Amino acid sequence: MTAHEIHLASRPKGWPTADTFAHATTELAAPNDGEVLVRNLFMSVDPYMRGRMNDVQSYVPSFQIGKPLEGGAVGEVVESRSADLKPGDVVQSMRGWRDAFVAPASGLRKVDTRVQPLSLHLGVLGMTGLTAWVGLNLVNVKAGDRVFVSGAAGAVGSVAGQLAKQRGCFVVGSAGSDQKVNALTRDFRFDAGFNYKHGDIREQLAAAAPEGIDVYFDNVGGDHLEAALSCLREHGRIAACGAISRYNEEGPVPGPRNMFLFVTRRLTLRGFIVTDHVRETKAFAAEVAPLVQSGRLKARETVVSGLENAPRAFLDMLHGANLGKMIVKI
Ligand code: NAP
């Protein structure tokens, strides 16, 4: 069988472009004992993939030029030589960016097909949702906290803000378009939102949360972090989840100018990587799945069709085209 794949064609300097990617085909051998042939149905495009395009040692290995990119995917088993999986089973893997693959069944996780659409396993009920949940837990978000979430209309941010609302918090979000800001208050039931492109972030945050904030869930870094620091109250906490405003910078950038506030306001910053917390998946699912099933937590997706459009979906996500989780339907 011929599989179609998206490879890394070159390492981007600054913003990636269409030239960063190459389309390729490969002939798949029939599965050996213990292996399965999987046809991918959905794949995820995520900000962390930008970091993996650089040739630097980090918490995940770099993508290799001329090799397929990798990432979360959900696919259907079409042929099996494993007792653990049968044709028709749906599995989650890290073999996205291709329409089919052969792999040992032992490295794949069978998912619940009653969850529909199946892409939710890549979003609110997958790594995305776990990231939001873990970040809130690490800074002990509780009823009465005043929480600010940046990147709030995106995959992680929209879940973090909604979960904080479920816990009885006052929640403010920032996003990069008026349409997204409307979605924050209308669909995700945040208390307030603002468009960070419409003015000074600190001033807009102070207007939305005049009493200050207790928690900042940081997806963006940069100016957002500096603004949040100045609005945090004494003993405030920051969940350092990401810094997407920095991922395409070509060199080092200055940090916040108000770091001394960590001292005077006794602030805490907690960084985390979600893959350190996969063992908490069961507790996460027990809390979040019922919220999704009952509609109390909205799982928005922006779906792009066709593997050939996956590079465009990734670039569009970096540029802010997605509301909720960016998904590629293969
Ligand atoms: P996402 O928010 O769904 O998509 C990225 C969003 O970033 C875009 O839609 C865009 O929205 C926003 N953005 C892009 N450039 C920006 C800028 N200069 N300033 C402000 N916002 C900007 O992506 P996600 O998957 O949920 O990831 C969100 C963050 O969580 C990222 O920083 C990611 O690296 C991090 N993350 C961390 C972990 C972990 O383990 N620590 C795991 C998953 C994700 P706007 O239109 O609002 O600009």
Look at residue 57 and tell me whether its pLDDT is greater than 90: no
Say if CB 239 and CB 136 are below 8 A apart.
Answer: yes
Distance CA 257, CA 145 (A): 25
CA of 267 from ligand 1 middle (Å) equals 23
Backbone angles phi, psi at 158, to 5 degrees: -65, -30
Question: Percentage of the chain with pLDDT > 90?
Answer: 98
CA of 132 from ligand 1 middle (Å) equals 12
Is the backbone of residue 221 left (phi > 0), alpha (psi -120 to 50) or beta? left
- What's the pLDDT band for 198 if we cut at 50, 70, 90? very high
CA of 240 from ligand 1 middle (Å) equals 12
Is any atom of ligand 1 closer than 6 Å to the C-beta of 262?
Answer: no
Distance CA 135, CA 216 (A): 10
Chain segment 143-169, per-residue pLDDT in tens: 999 999 999 999 999 999 999 999 999
Structure tokens at 113: 């097909």
Please, is 162 exposed, middle or buried when counting C-beta atoms within 10 Å of its C-beta (0-12, 13-18, 19+)?
buried
Buried b (16+ CB within 10 A) or exposed e, 70-101: bbbbbbbbebbebeebeeebbbbbebbbbbbb
Chain segment 275-319, per-residue pLDDT in tens: 999 999 999 999 999 999 999 999 999 999 999 999 999 999 999
Instruction: Determine which residue's CA is closest to atom 18 belonging to ligand 1.
Output: 245
DSSP of 253-280, one letter per residue?
----TTTTHHHHTT-EEEE--GGGGGGG
Is any atom of ligand 1 closer than 6 Å to the C-beta of 219?
Answer: yes
Which amino acid is residue 195, in one-letter code? N
- Relative to the CA of 241, which ligand 1 atom is closest? 41
Over residues 90-98, the mean pLDDT reads 98
Over residues 185-197, the mean pLDDT reads 98
Over residues 58-85, the mean pLDDT reads 97
Over residues 239-266, the mean pLDDT reads 96
Chain segment 18-37, per-residue pLDDT in tens: 999 999 999 999 999 999 99
Over residues 6-14, the mean pLDDT reads 97
Which amino acid is residue 148, in one-letter code? F
Q: The tokens 């040692």 sit on which residue?
A: 57
Chain segment 221-230, per-residue pLDDT in tens: 999 999 999 9
pLDDT in the model for residue 62 = 97
